[in-house]
Amino acid sequence: DGGITQSPKYLFRKEGQNVTLSCEQNLNHDAMYWYRQDPGQGLRLIYYSQIVNDFQKGDIAEGYSVSREKKESFPLTVTSAQKNPTAFYLCASTKRAGEVNTQYFGPGTRLTVL
Amino acid sequence: GNSVTQMEGPVTLSEEAFLTINCTYTATGYPSLFWYVQYPGEGLQLLLKATKADDKGSNKGFEATYRKETTSFHLEKGSVQVSDSAVYFCALSGYGSNDYKLSFGAGTTVTVRA
Protein backbone atom coordinates (compact mmCIF):
# COMPACT_ATOMS: atom_id res chain seq x y z
CA ASP A 1 0.00 0.00 0.00
CA GLY A 2 1.21 3.48 -0.83
CA GLY A 3 1.38 6.09 1.83
CA ILE A 4 3.39 8.43 3.98
CA THR A 5 5.34 7.24 6.98
CA GLN A 6 6.73 9.40 9.74
CA SER A 7 9.11 8.32 12.44
CA PRO A 8 9.39 8.26 15.30
CA LYS A 9 5.83 8.57 16.57
CA TYR A 10 7.04 10.13 19.83
CA LEU A 11 10.29 12.00 20.29
CA PHE A 12 11.80 13.56 23.37
CA ARG A 13 14.55 16.14 23.20
CA LYS A 14 16.62 17.93 25.74
CA GLU A 15 16.94 21.67 25.40
CA GLY A 16 19.83 22.67 23.16
CA GLN A 17 19.72 19.51 21.05
CA ASN A 18 18.92 19.26 17.38
CA VAL A 19 16.54 16.48 16.33
CA THR A 20 15.54 15.17 12.93
CA LEU A 21 12.06 13.94 12.06
CA SER A 22 11.72 11.49 9.22
CA CYS A 23 9.13 11.62 6.45
CA GLU A 24 9.02 9.07 3.62
CA GLN A 25 6.44 8.62 0.88
CA ASN A 26 6.05 5.92 -1.77
CA LEU A 27 3.25 7.65 -3.64
CA ASN A 28 5.59 9.06 -6.30
CA HIS A 29 4.43 12.54 -5.31
CA ASP A 30 6.43 15.53 -6.39
CA ALA A 31 5.62 17.97 -3.60
CA MET A 32 6.10 17.50 0.14
CA TYR A 33 5.22 19.68 3.12
CA TRP A 34 5.90 20.01 6.83
CA TYR A 35 3.31 21.43 9.21
CA ARG A 36 3.29 22.17 12.89
CA GLN A 37 0.14 21.69 14.96
CA ASP A 38 -0.34 23.18 18.40
CA PRO A 39 -3.32 22.47 20.70
CA GLY A 40 -6.43 24.33 19.62
CA GLN A 41 -4.78 25.72 16.52
CA GLY A 42 -4.82 24.90 12.86
CA LEU A 43 -1.81 23.67 10.96
CA ARG A 44 0.98 26.07 10.17
CA LEU A 45 3.31 25.51 7.24
CA ILE A 46 7.01 25.21 8.10
CA TYR A 47 8.67 24.27 4.81
CA TYR A 48 7.64 22.80 1.49
CA SER A 49 9.41 21.29 -1.49
CA GLN A 50 8.12 21.13 -5.03
CA ILE A 51 10.95 19.07 -6.54
CA VAL A 52 14.11 17.31 -5.49
CA ASN A 53 16.91 19.60 -4.31
CA ASP A 54 14.55 22.54 -3.95
CA PHE A 55 12.54 23.81 -0.99
CA GLN A 56 10.92 27.01 0.25
CA LYS A 57 10.17 28.51 3.61
CA GLY A 58 6.64 28.45 4.85
CA ASP A 59 5.05 30.72 7.42
CA ILE A 60 7.09 29.62 10.46
CA ALA A 61 10.46 28.40 9.14
CA GLU A 62 12.66 29.99 11.81
CA GLY A 63 14.49 27.38 13.86
CA TYR A 64 13.86 24.59 11.36
CA SER A 65 15.78 23.17 8.40
CA VAL A 66 14.99 20.63 5.69
CA SER A 67 16.58 18.77 2.81
CA ARG A 68 15.15 17.06 -0.26
CA GLU A 69 17.89 14.85 -1.69
CA LYS A 70 15.47 12.17 -2.82
CA LYS A 71 11.93 12.37 -4.14
CA GLU A 72 10.69 9.99 -1.46
CA SER A 73 12.22 11.69 1.55
CA PHE A 74 11.82 15.10 3.20
CA PRO A 75 13.40 15.13 6.69
CA LEU A 76 12.84 18.03 9.05
CA THR A 77 15.48 19.12 11.57
CA VAL A 78 14.32 21.04 14.61
CA THR A 79 17.30 23.06 15.73
CA SER A 80 18.16 24.51 19.11
CA ALA A 81 17.20 27.90 17.67
CA GLN A 82 13.54 26.92 17.74
CA LYS A 83 12.30 28.52 20.94
CA ASN A 84 9.19 26.46 21.51
CA PRO A 85 9.52 23.18 19.63
CA THR A 86 7.06 21.06 21.61
CA ALA A 87 4.28 20.29 19.13
CA PHE A 88 2.77 17.71 16.80
CA TYR A 89 4.51 17.65 13.41
CA LEU A 90 2.76 16.50 10.27
CA CYS A 91 4.25 15.70 6.90
CA ALA A 92 2.15 15.78 3.73
CA SER A 93 2.57 15.28 0.02
CA THR A 94 0.76 16.05 -3.22
CA LYS A 95 1.07 14.50 -6.64
CA ARG A 96 2.30 17.58 -8.45
CA ALA A 97 3.47 20.96 -7.45
CA GLY A 98 1.93 24.08 -8.89
CA GLU A 99 -1.51 22.51 -9.16
CA VAL A 100 -4.45 22.21 -6.86
CA ASN A 101 -4.13 18.73 -5.45
CA THR A 102 -5.32 16.86 -2.43
CA GLN A 103 -2.69 16.73 0.27
CA TYR A 104 -2.12 13.35 1.88
CA PHE A 105 -0.85 13.32 5.44
CA GLY A 106 1.37 11.07 7.48
CA PRO A 107 0.46 9.93 11.02
CA GLY A 108 2.57 12.62 12.68
CA THR A 109 5.42 12.87 15.18
CA ARG A 110 4.85 14.30 18.64
CA LEU A 111 7.94 16.14 19.82
CA THR A 112 8.38 17.02 23.49
CA VAL A 113 11.22 19.11 24.82
CA LEU A 114 12.22 18.14 28.34
CA GLY B 1 -3.79 36.57 1.56
CA ASN B 2 -5.90 33.46 1.87
CA SER B 3 -7.57 32.65 5.16
CA VAL B 4 -10.16 30.33 6.62
CA THR B 5 -12.44 30.94 9.60
CA GLN B 6 -14.36 28.07 11.10
CA MET B 7 -16.75 27.67 13.96
CA GLU B 8 -15.09 27.42 17.32
CA GLY B 9 -15.66 24.34 19.37
CA PRO B 10 -15.86 22.19 21.17
CA VAL B 11 -19.13 20.81 19.92
CA THR B 12 -20.85 18.05 21.88
CA LEU B 13 -23.77 16.15 20.39
CA SER B 14 -25.86 13.09 21.08
CA GLU B 15 -25.87 10.21 18.65
CA GLU B 16 -28.19 10.71 15.66
CA ALA B 17 -28.16 14.49 16.08
CA PHE B 18 -27.59 16.88 13.17
CA LEU B 19 -24.12 18.37 12.85
CA THR B 20 -23.17 21.65 11.20
CA ILE B 21 -19.71 23.20 11.29
CA ASN B 22 -19.50 26.63 9.71
CA CYS B 23 -16.57 27.59 7.51
CA THR B 24 -16.01 30.86 5.66
CA TYR B 25 -13.03 31.87 3.63
CA THR B 26 -11.18 34.82 2.15
CA ALA B 27 -9.30 34.26 -1.08
CA THR B 28 -8.56 35.77 -4.43
CA GLY B 29 -9.53 33.96 -7.57
CA TYR B 30 -11.14 30.55 -7.44
CA PRO B 31 -9.85 28.46 -4.56
CA SER B 32 -10.52 24.78 -3.97
CA LEU B 33 -12.06 23.93 -0.62
CA PHE B 34 -11.48 20.93 1.61
CA TRP B 35 -12.64 19.35 4.83
CA TYR B 36 -10.12 17.20 6.66
CA VAL B 37 -10.76 15.03 9.73
CA GLN B 38 -8.26 14.14 12.44
CA TYR B 39 -8.93 11.27 14.83
CA PRO B 40 -7.11 11.28 18.18
CA GLY B 41 -3.35 10.84 17.85
CA GLU B 42 -3.44 10.55 14.07
CA GLY B 43 -2.68 12.61 10.99
CA LEU B 44 -5.30 14.31 8.86
CA GLN B 45 -7.50 12.48 6.38
CA LEU B 46 -9.32 14.12 3.51
CA LEU B 47 -13.05 13.96 4.18
CA LEU B 48 -14.38 15.77 1.11
CA LYS B 49 -13.54 18.54 -1.32
CA ALA B 50 -15.04 20.91 -3.90
CA THR B 51 -13.11 22.62 -6.65
CA LYS B 52 -15.57 25.11 -8.07
CA ALA B 53 -18.60 27.16 -7.10
CA ASP B 54 -21.82 25.22 -6.42
CA ASP B 55 -19.95 21.91 -6.27
CA LYS B 56 -21.07 19.63 -3.46
CA GLY B 57 -18.52 17.38 -1.83
CA SER B 58 -19.78 14.32 0.01
CA ASN B 59 -18.35 11.33 1.85
CA LYS B 60 -19.38 9.06 4.73
CA GLY B 61 -22.68 10.92 5.12
CA PHE B 62 -20.98 14.32 5.33
CA GLU B 63 -21.73 17.05 2.80
CA ALA B 64 -20.50 20.55 2.04
CA THR B 65 -21.44 22.92 -0.78
CA TYR B 66 -19.06 25.52 -2.22
CA ARG B 67 -20.97 28.82 -1.99
CA LYS B 68 -19.05 31.57 -3.73
CA GLU B 69 -21.70 34.22 -3.06
CA THR B 70 -21.36 33.75 0.70
CA THR B 71 -17.71 32.54 0.60
CA SER B 72 -18.70 29.53 2.67
CA PHE B 73 -18.20 25.77 2.80
CA HIS B 74 -20.22 24.55 5.76
CA LEU B 75 -19.95 20.89 6.76
CA GLU B 76 -23.13 18.97 7.57
CA LYS B 77 -24.15 15.48 8.60
CA GLY B 78 -27.70 14.46 9.23
CA SER B 79 -27.16 11.78 11.88
CA VAL B 80 -23.85 11.56 13.70
CA GLN B 81 -22.36 8.49 15.33
CA VAL B 82 -19.91 8.10 18.20
CA SER B 83 -17.27 7.21 15.62
CA ASP B 84 -17.57 10.73 14.14
CA SER B 85 -15.88 12.17 17.22
CA ALA B 86 -12.81 13.94 15.87
CA VAL B 87 -11.33 17.32 15.00
CA TYR B 88 -12.55 18.76 11.70
CA PHE B 89 -10.49 21.24 9.67
CA CYS B 90 -11.68 23.41 6.85
CA ALA B 91 -8.97 24.35 4.34
CA LEU B 92 -8.50 26.09 1.04
CA SER B 93 -5.97 25.90 -1.74
CA GLY B 94 -5.42 28.91 -3.89
CA TYR B 95 -5.48 28.96 -7.66
CA GLY B 96 -2.87 30.30 -9.97
CA SER B 97 0.74 31.37 -9.56
CA ASN B 98 2.30 29.51 -6.63
CA ASP B 99 -0.66 30.05 -4.36
CA TYR B 100 -1.55 26.37 -4.15
CA LYS B 101 -0.55 25.87 -0.54
CA LEU B 102 -3.26 24.86 1.91
CA SER B 103 -4.53 27.39 4.44
CA PHE B 104 -6.27 25.77 7.41
CA GLY B 105 -8.89 26.89 9.87
CA ALA B 106 -8.23 26.38 13.58
CA GLY B 107 -10.20 23.14 13.74
CA THR B 108 -13.45 22.21 15.48
CA THR B 109 -13.49 19.43 18.03
CA VAL B 110 -16.64 17.32 17.84
CA THR B 111 -17.63 14.84 20.53
CA VAL B 112 -20.58 12.54 19.98
CA ARG B 113 -22.09 10.85 23.03
CA ALA B 114 -24.01 7.60 22.95
- Residue B30 is predicted with a pLDDT of 81
- Residue A40 is predicted with a pLDDT of 77
Answer whether B8 touches A (CB < 8 Å).
no
Question: pLDDT band for position B24 (50/70/90)?
Answer: very high
Which of A41, A48, A102 faces B101 most closely, judged by CB atoms? A48
B83: DSSP letter: G
Mean pLDDT of B19-38: 92
- The whole-angstrom distance between A45's CA and the closest CA on chain B is 8
Mean pLDDT of B9-34: 93
- Residue A12 is predicted with a pLDDT of 93
Q: With 60 as the cut, is the pLDDT of residue B97 above it?
A: no
User: What residue in B sits closest to A89 (Cα-Cα)?
Assistant: B43
Asked if B106 lies within 8 A of A41 by C-beta distance, the reply is yes
Which residues of chain A are within 8 Å of residue B49 when distances are taken between CB atoms? 102
Answer whether A30 touches B (CB < 8 Å).
no
- Residue A92 is predicted with a pLDDT of 94
Q: With 80 as the cut, is the pLDDT of residue B101 above it?
A: no
Give dist(CA B34, CA B103) in Å, integer. Answer: 10
Q: What is the dihedral of CA B8, B24, A89, B37, to 10 degrees?
A: 80
Enumerate residue ranges in chain A where pLDDT < 70.
1, 97-100
Answer whether B49 touches A (CB < 8 Å).
yes
Coil, helix or strand at residue B75: strand
Q: With 80 as the cut, is the pLDDT of residue B96 above it?
A: no
What is the share, in percent, of chain B residues with pLDDT greater than 90?
74
- The whole-angstrom distance between B109's CA and the closest CA on chain A is 9
One-character DSSP codes across A39-102 = TTS-EEEEEEESSTT--EE-TT-TTEEE--SBTTB--EEE-TT-S---EEEEEEEESSTTS---
Give dist(CA A59, CA B2) in Å, integer. Answer: 13
